Structure 1
């Protein structure tokens, strides 16, 4: 069933009396036995993929073979939503073989925060060497909730990092903290000179946008070349945003969700608040959205102009169609499997690759019947 952005005008007409023969979804299980897999990254030249398990293992998978955990991966703090969270390859991976990781660490008080760094993958794909930390989320405030954290390089080689609010909502509005923010760095970890708050006293120059709650996905829109973000609301109010330079995305001042108690979110002034940006799409009832991927392959023309987002609570893959900055929800896939979906990526072969967030986590290859 189609579903429109709340408050928007009808963008088109659905001809209910004209049956559409939808192609059947195909699912191939490529791997099981993964320990809460959180992220996947494709290596160039048909060299397989890297898979991150939240518990701290980074593995190589190719042609049905799963490696032992790679050596040289930093020790992670793996509690609740903390652990090894995301992987991104350097835009110059073929030359430098740099693999970027986002993970969590805790301080002596037991409070945790996200960390980003990179190491060099050896030719045998068995270890990372010379791992270097380039950013630590500060202050560390989390007991294991709302950590984020995703990584994405844009077409100019800038690294975007999503950091959750660590369940300390007010800090998402504080420009001297790296909680509840989207960060933008150069690949070496330095701060781009044109970042919006570089010259603002008391603000962190790394910040690109603020007012984010718990970002779960980052993806590059292949048609507009902008970064998009998927984000957990509290109880309801999951969002898709376009994080634009220097903008405030509202949390906790503006939210379409309510507190877990069912009451108003403390500090909230409603769904629409002057000076804050509206999401391009939101769910009043939260599916607990996770990773996201645009679809821009010729393999399955029926998926043209699509966005796919995983769901944890509702345990399905949400298929949306995209027209500029507008989104329509089209269908829910994979719900019959009853598994939490943590990440989805479009593979170089035009199939979707999905990770299920379970103790017996799976790597799935999803397509359509021809």
Structure 2
């Protein structure tokens, strides 16, 4: 499809500098109608306040703000937790998990308003362009995709500010923005500024969601999480929706400085990037879930679930949610999740989330067998035969080596 054939575009709109400039740029370069789309995934009211009016002032014909908070946590975050996915050992995939539901809702709006194109403000250096366009390809391959950062000749914040000023389009952005941030109910990410130097320790102004662990309370706090078949159902005995349970955990954990990480990660496009992430409630939730798994899954099952988690971390990070591989991995994890029922108590203290109590009706732990005291259920003499058979191949190899040396 050529530019002349694009009549109506649905733009993933945040109200930031980039997407504010994209609206007039689309109208000038594609001579098309622009419909702004914003997803509420729990980033906070302050980011959504005035967004509708701002989009219209920038030249959009409409602005749709879609509430996706509950669906985001229930249908994307919770299933991911059951896989145990953690990217490169530390990153809890906060930005990655939000992209498929946002892009899916954008496609749905495009169908509703009769658009023939989709647009996003992702740069050509990042992962999000792949995540958005991977979803577009899976759900709407017939729609044209426009990525202005790969087309226009603007290369800096100063360029974008000048572009808007020339057109008398108001913006609250300035050339002095230090950090690039992305927030949702699960986490907030921070990039840019001093973080571009991996030798530079993050300053206090980087962190916005959690208390500095050094300033956190001197008294520990305990929180109980209750699960039923892999789903969090209650916090401290109170039944809450998926989203509200995370809101509660975020508040509790953030007050104790829990959930901060500072990492250098491998982007999908090949470069490394340094980022700081805050995932307070998610850190507690993941710790609790994994602790309950250790109680109810046997060694072989847990080993396989761990392999699912490693693979799924890349599937999610790389934007492959709407693929058969993703669905296969989720289905496999769901089998194990059927057993994850019980209660976990996590102690929050000075940036740490430590599991201190656990119980489950499906527990495989038996004090009768595990005790260091006297018992009537385990004959320790039987271990000799087990070890002899378990190490038989090593014994044979050693004997063979002795004969040939």
Q: Same fold (TM over 0.5)?
A: no
Q: Give the structure-1-normalised TM-score.
A: 0.24
Larger radius of gyration: 2
Q: Give the structure-2-normalised TM-score.
A: 0.23
Higher strand share: 1
